[in-house]
Every structure is written in C-alpha cells, then in structure tokens.
Structure 1
C-alpha cells in the first residue's frame, strides 16, 4: 500500500570543538573566518532544516564535545533545537564518541522535539505528520565501539518506511541484514555511499566542514527524499566555507607550462573555478625525477612565501598550508664517480638505500645525545620502516645541495 512522501535532513560529525587543521599559522585576514567555519557549516545545516518542506532531522553523532566546545557550542545547538521545536520538526540524535550522552550536562535539558537515543538499546520512534505516521526512526547511541553493531538494531517489524541512525564503521552485508530502508551513518568525515547496504540507501554524509588535507574535497550534508512508493533519493548538499585541496605535481607538469610558478598559478585558478566562492586551503606534493627539475624549483621556503603572497590574499583566498618537495632518487652518474666529498656522500647514501636504511641510527649525530631523554633517543635510533626511504631521500637532497654550493632546500614546509 502506498505511503506518504516526505523529506528529511541527514547530518553528522559537526565537531564544533575542533578548529581547522594543517595550518602552521592563522593568516590574519582569514583568522576570524577560519575560527567560525565549523559553526557556520553547522548553522547551514539547521537553516536548511527550518525550511517548510523538511519534515525532520537525523543527526548521526559527534556533533560536539560539550566540555571542549563549551557554552558557545552548546548554546548554538540548543538555539537551533528550539527553533526547530517552534516549527514542530523532530530531531533524532544518535551520539558518537565526542558527544557521549554521559557528557551532556544534566542541568541543560534538551527541548521536547529532540530524541537523544540511549546507549544500551535501540529505540524506534514514529514520525507523524497531520496525525498520520509517515515513517519510523530507529537509533542507538554509540557505546564506544568503532564498529556499528547492526544486530542490536532489531526492533518490532513495521510496514512503514524505516530510517536507522547509527555511528561507526560497517560493511554492506552487515547493514543489509538490518533490512532498513535508509541507514543514516556517522563517524566518518568524508562522504560515502555504501552500495547494497540498505533497501534504499546507506550513507555516511560526512562532516559539514573539512578539517585537514586528509579531508580534502567537498563537505556538507544530505537531503533525503522519499516518495509514496518508498523510492529513496539522496541529494548531497555542500556547505563548507573552506575547502582543503591536495595537488600533486610532477616534473612533466612543471616542464609543460614553463616552470613551477606557472603550473602552481594555473592549478590554483582551476581550483578556484571548480570550487566556487570558497576559500581554499591547498597542500602541494611535488615529485621530481631528476636533479635538474629539483633545481628549477628553487628554495621551497621562498616558493611557499611567493604562492601565499600571490594567491593567499584574494577574495576568495587560496592559502597554501603545506608544500612538500619529494627528492629525486637518482643523481648524475658523474657526481657519484667524483673523487670528492660529494662523490663519497652519494656513494654512502646509496649504501644506506640498498640496506633499506636498516642501519640508520641518528642519535650519535646529536650533540645532546648524552643528556637526551630516553624516549627521544629511541625515536632517533629506531626510525620506522615506513619513514626510512623518505628520510634518506630528504637527507641526500639536503647534502647534495650543500656540497654543490647551493642554498639548502627546505624539502618540507607546513
């Protein structure tokens, strides 16, 4: 039997207590906007929820840590909850780890339209409109597990459309066993749709605002439309005001447009066009295969200062927050064959590389090794296998530049 069509918002992972990251400093002209970015993105979610054609809101965890976000963050949530209550819009909140219900102050009651699901059991709540049930929302707050426990969501069967609200990682097979029409998932900061995870859809809507280069790309929330035949359509809505972008460049890219500065400027213009009027926070990963290309890049400290000066003060801004230059693995054979300190150095570097850096011990090279704390000495003496190759490449590049009389390149600036 056909039901009623309805529309709801699915949002999660506000993390109002967490500022933007991957920044070595706050640019003065962007300081206020950066500080407000997480709150502004969360506010965009609630402003959309106040529109008349939204029936209810589901929140899938990690909205804020009350202790870290403080009264400022809590007041924002409560203000919007009250506004939604005034418009008779229910809010269904499954807490994650940051917003554990035990952390919410007992002296600050939630408005009656807000259901904060318990941790010890799943609860099914009917959603009514004009006196008729349009769907059920089933939720359970996280007990601290990293994996969503789907079997605990078993509730009495119903003929109405059912939305399950959960927090934690889950695969499609586990979610499908729940037999819900829509899984509103949280605990993941990047958006992801899980194919086959539900009869209608299973979606991590992600955080409304990215916080680091690991969370590059668009961020926002979901609007979910359900028609009378229970067909589900999920719309991704972008609401981030700062967008992290990772850009990888190679020697071929640099040579194709006549130099590193030309290619960086070209990529920034393209990113600004693709991302509308948002501020961009850009991380550069520059890989070169030969020393000639490396020398064409020049001093990376000067390069990052230039790109910030040229593109970081516009409106919108494209601020470079990280620049990494990956060193070449091979240097000219004539340099290796030289009977010079440079030749000795390159031959020694090759010896370490053949051993995969297993004989690296940096502690003796520090003047303070005798008085160094034991934990720091251990870090220097035991370089992790995943870091050895990169460390050798960077050390070799630095040595080559110094021994050839060039200005040492700061191979990583962030």
Structure 2
C-alpha cells in the first residue's frame, strides 16, 4: 500500500566548540565573521527546519562539546530545539564523540521534542502526523568506535519507511545488511553519498561549515523528500559562509600565462564566480617540476603578502592562508657535483631521502636547549622538533631543500628566463 509523503532535514557535525583552522593569523577585518561562521551555519539549519515544511529534524552527532564550548554555542543549540518544540517538530539526535550523551550537563535539559539516543542500544521511534505513522526513525549514539556497528541497529520489520541515523563511517555492503530505506550518517566533514542500490540511500551530509584545507568545497545540510511510493530524493543545501579552496598550480602554467600574479588573479576570479559570492580561504600549492622553472615563482612570502593586499580585503574577501612551493625532487647534477657548501647540502638531503628511517632531529639546531625550564623550549615544542612525524618528513625535506638552495645560491639560482 502507498504510504505518506514527508520531508525531513539531515544535518551533522556542527562542532560549535571548534573555530576555523589553518589560519596563521586572523585578518582584523574578517575576525568577527570567522568567529561567527560555525554558529551561522548551524543557525541556518534550525532556520530551515523552522521555516520550511519539515516533518522532523535528524542530527547525526558532534554538534557541540559542552565542556569546551562557550555559552553562545550552547544557547544556539538549545534555542533551536525550543523553537522546533514550539512548532511541535520532533528532533532525533544520534550523538557522536564530542556530544557524548553521558557527559551532557544536567543544567541544560532538552525539551520533550528532542530524542537523544542512548549509546548501548538502538531505539525505534514512530513519527506520527495527524495520528498516522509516516515513518520509523531508528537511532543509536556513538559508542566511541569510528566505524558504525550496523548489527546493533536490528529491529522487527515494519511496513513504513525507515530512517536509520548514526555517527561513524561504514561501507555500502555493511549498511545494506540493515535493510533500512535511508541511512542518515555523521562523522565525515565532507559530504559523501554511499551507494546502496536503487531503493535505498545512505548519506554522510558533512559539516555545515568547513574548517580547514582538508574540508574544501561546499558544505551544508540535506533536505530529504520521500513520496508516497517511498522514493527518496536528497537535496544538498549550502549554508557555509566561508569556503576553503585548495588550488594546485603547475609552474609551467606560470610561464605560459606570463607571470605568477596574473595566473593567481585569474584563478581567484574563477573561484569567486564558482562559489557564489562566499568569502574564500585559499591555500595555494605550486608544483615545480624542474629547477629551470623556479625563477617564474619568485619569492613566495612576498607573493602571499601581495595576494592578501590585492584580494583579501574585497567584498567578499578572497583571503590566501598559505602559499607553498613544492620544489623539484632533483636539482641539476652539476649543482650536486660541486665541491661547495651547496653541493654538500644537496648530497646530504639526498641521503635523507634515500633512507626513510634516517633520523631527522631538528632540536640540535635551536639555541634553546633547556627544555621545560624558564627561557627554554616548552616540552611539547621540543617533542615536535625531535620526533618528526613520518607524514611530515617528505614535505619538511622539500621545504628545507628549497630554502637551502635559495640561500646558498644567493637567492638567484641559475635559471632560464622567459623570453
């Protein structure tokens, strides 16, 4: 028999306690907007749930850590719940790690329209409209595992549409074993649709506001429409106010265009058009294949300052948060063979590259050896210098090699100029 058509919002990972990251400084003219961005995005979810024709709201974890969030963040969440309570709109909340239900403060009671699912078992809740059940929501809060435990969601079969909600990653095959019509998931900050087949859907809706260069592109929430034949349509609604962009540039492109500044300006114009007038936070990565192309790049620090002056103060702003030059893995053989400090330096870096297990300890290069003592290095800083993570080792060697070549050749390496 045909069922009821209905609509709900699926959102997750507000992280109201966490500011935007990957910023080496806070631009004064953007400071307030940057600080307010996570709250603005979360408020957009509640505004949509209040204003639109929504039957219920599904929240999939990591909304706020009450022990580290300020009063504004807690008030935003609780006020949103109260507004939906006034409209008699149910809220189903599957908590993650940050918003562990066992640590939720007694001083912040939830209104009766909010169902906060327990960690130790799944609960099925019927959603009713005009006295008739339109669907069942099956939820369970995270037990701390990063992977969703699908067998823990087993319920008796029902005729109505089923919405399962949880926090954690999962493969399509595992989710299919649950036999639910829609999986509303949280835990990933970038949106992902998980293939389950023609009659089922599984979506990681992502965070409403990206916070770093690993969270590039649009962010928002999902509006899910289910018709009377139980056909599901998922619409992504963007609500981020700042958008992270990670732009890769080949040094050969710079030579074709003429100058690096021309190419960067063209890219920014394109990004502004593609992202619909949002504030942009851009990380640039320039890949240099051969030493001969280094001259086209110039001084990265000066270029970054120029980008911030030229494009970082517009309305909307395109603020460049980093500009990294990835040097060639091989410099000219004649440089390596020189009986000079430069030659010695390049041969030393080559040895470090050849042996991944070779110790890379930067602590002896500092002048502050009294670790943890007044005037000395903090213990955490000394640990970072003495124990370079394997994931950072290659990039650190690249940047050290590029800096050393630049300094040892007087900032004027033997490079070809564009004719």
Shared fold by TM > 0.5?
A: yes
- Which of 397, 400, 405 does residue 405 from structure 2 map onto? 400
**Deviation digits for residues 170-189 of structure 1, max 9, x if unmatched?**
11111111111101101111
2:123·2:138 contact (CA, 8 Å) conserved in 1? yes
Show CA shifts across 1:173-224 (max 9, x none): 1111111110110111110011017942000100000010011111000000
Query: 1:279 and 2:279 equivalent?
Result: yes
Task: Please list every run of 5 or more consecutive structure 2 residues that lacks an aligned counterpart in the other structure.
Answer: 414-419
Deviation of 1:387 after TM superposition, in Å, equals 3.9
Out of 292-301 and 127-136, give the one that drifted further: 292-301
Aligned to 1:169: 169
Q: Distance between the aligned counterparts of 1:139 and 1:334, measured in 2?
A: 65
1:339-358 CA distance string (max 9 Å, x none): 43333433444444444572
| Contact residue 97 and residue 142 of structure 1 kept, 8 A | yes
- Mapped to 2, the partners of 1:297 and 1:338 lie a distance apart of 25
Partner of 1:411: none
Distance 1:118 1:289, change over 3 A: same
Shift of 1:294: 1.7
Whole-angstrom CA distance in 2 between matches of 1:382 and 1:44: 43
Q: Which moved more, 1:217-226 or 1:335-344?
A: 335-344
TM-score by length of 1: 0.92
For the structure 1 residues 351 and 16, does the alpha-carbon distance in structure 2 shift closer, same or farther, using more than 3 Å as the test?
closer
Judged with a 3 Å threshold, the aligned counterparts in structure 2 of structure 1 residues 108 and 342 are, in CA distance, closer, same or farther, namely closer
Between stretches 76-85 and 37-46, larger displacement belongs to: 76-85
Query: Does structure 2 retain, via aligned residues, the 8 Å contact 1:176–1:199?
Result: no
RMSD, matched Cα: 2.3
Q: 1:404 to 1:220 in 2, by over 3 A?
A: same
Matching residue of 2:135: 135
Residue 93 of structure 1 contacts residue 116 of structure 1 at CA under 8 Å; is this kept in 2?
A: yes
SS in 1 for 2:151: helix
The answer to whether the 8 Å contact 2:252/2:293 transfers is no
Determine if the alignment matches structure 1 residue 311 to structure 2 residue 316: no
- DSSP 3-state at the match of 1:128: strand
Structure 1 runs not aligned, ≥5 long: 409-414
Mapped partners of 2:384, 2:165: distance in 1:
43
Tell me the CA shift for residue 390 of structure 1: 3.1
Alignment of 1:11-26 (within 5 A): 11-26=11-26
Residue by residue over 1:49-90, the C-alpha shift from the partner in whole angstroms, topping out at 9 and shown as x without a partner, is 113421111111111011222322121112121111121211
Residue 164 of structure 1 contacts residue 183 of structure 1 at CA under 8 Å; is this kept in 2? yes
Deviations 1:352-387 (CA, angstroms, capped at 9, x unpaired): 444457265545544455868888767655545444
Q: Give the match for residue 288 of structure 1.
A: 288
Q: Contact between 1:248 and 1:286, CA under 8 Å: does it hold in 2? A: yes
